[in-house]
Amino acid sequence: MKALVVGNWKMHDTIAQAVQLVDGLLAVVDQFPDTVDVAIAPPFTALQAVSERLRGQSRIALGAQTMHWEDAGPFTGEISPPMLKDLGVGYVIIGHSERRAFCAETDETVNKKAHAALKHAITPIIAVGESLDEKSAGQTKTKVVMQTHAALRDLTSNQIRQIVLAYEPIWAIGTGRSDDPRNADSTMQEIRSANAELQDVRILYGGSVKPQNMAGYAAMPNIDGALVGGASLAADSFAAIVRAAAPR
């Protein structure tokens, strides 16, 4: 399976900074292995500028960090799937733990957004993961399998085959405390077993991925790439992660 590495820029970078970062990546795309797909998810305010920079090349795809499920309507502050399509967005991160914690994202809205993304031919990257308390209580697998089932509710087999999943242990995000690759692989195997159609779906690991630890994840059978936060904010470290993500 081809790997996928996604840079989640979160709430970072003005337009000028975002353009500088994407230009830095475009300067080194010829070093990206053919076996790795790459996407970047800048903040909404920089999507248009980054989209213009990415035009005419196919090596780096454009992603968004969230979206609403309706096409249009009275939803102040929200961004709809057609608005993202208009900007050339091909991927959307759905259900990131920061949005579940701070922006009222629920299993139900994650599911609605998954349906909406697929309807508009945007690939949803659906994030699941357990908290430190859940991990300590031995509930990791139950939690992520439950989140996966909820996210996939009423999707057809064909639709499920088009999604991407991301396993992101909440305690590993932004902490420098990455999950052990074997441990993550075992959790991800459980996620994959949640539905027969997930056999060939890409599952990304996320949580303190760095150039130094990416190869350890890429070597695992159930890890098909990474969702990268902090280390995606500099072209050299993100490019090094992409190079280390080639499946072996």
Whether residue 125 contacts residue 93, with contact meaning beta carbons closer than 8 Å, is answered with yes
Give least dist CB 187 to ligand PGA, A: 16
Give least dist CB 43 to ligand PGA, A: 14
Tell me which residue of 75, 169, 146 sits closest to 116, measured CA to CA: 75
The active-site residue, picked from 98, 130, 134, 168, is: 168
Question: At residue 31, what is the residue type?
Answer: Q
The residue (of 89 and 214) whose beta carbon lies closer to ligand PGA is: 214
Stretch that binds ligand PGA, among 34-42, 59-67, 201-209, 236-244 (CB under 6 A): 201-209
The residue (of 67 and 173) whose beta carbon lies closer to ligand PGA is: 173
How far does CA 231 lie from the centroid of its chain?
14
The active-site residue, picked from 52, 68, 96, 98, is: 96
Whether 149 is catalytic is no
With binding defined as CB under 6 A, does residue 207 bind ligand PGA? yes
- Choose, by CB under 6 A, the member of 65, 66, 140, 208 that binds ligand PGA: 208
Whether 168 is catalytic is yes
- Choose, by CB under 6 A, the member of 111, 113, 230, 238 that binds ligand PGA: 230
The label of the residue with tokens 């800048």 reads 42
User: What are residue 165's phi and psi, to 5 degrees?
Assistant: -110, 155
> How far is Cα 57 from Cα 102, in angstroms, rounded to an integer?
35
Query: Which parts of 88-240 are beta strand (E)?
Result: 91-94, 123-128, 164-167, 202-206, 225-228
> How far is Cα 196 from Cα 98, in angstroms, rounded to an integer?
29
With binding defined as CB under 6 A, does residue 8 bind ligand PGA? yes
With binding defined as CB under 6 A, does residue 168 bind ligand PGA? yes
Whether residue 66 contacts residue 104, with contact meaning beta carbons closer than 8 Å, is answered with no
Q: How many residues bind ligand PGA (CB under 6 A)?
A: 13
Stretch that binds ligand PGA, among 39-47, 54-62, 113-121, 227-235 (CB under 6 A): 227-235
3-state class (DSSP) for residue 28: coil
With binding defined as CB under 6 A, does residue 229 bind ligand PGA? yes
How far does CA 222 lie from the centroid of its chain?
16
Binding residues for ligand PGA (CB under 6 A):
8, 168, 173-174, 206-209, 227-231
Active site residues: 96, 168
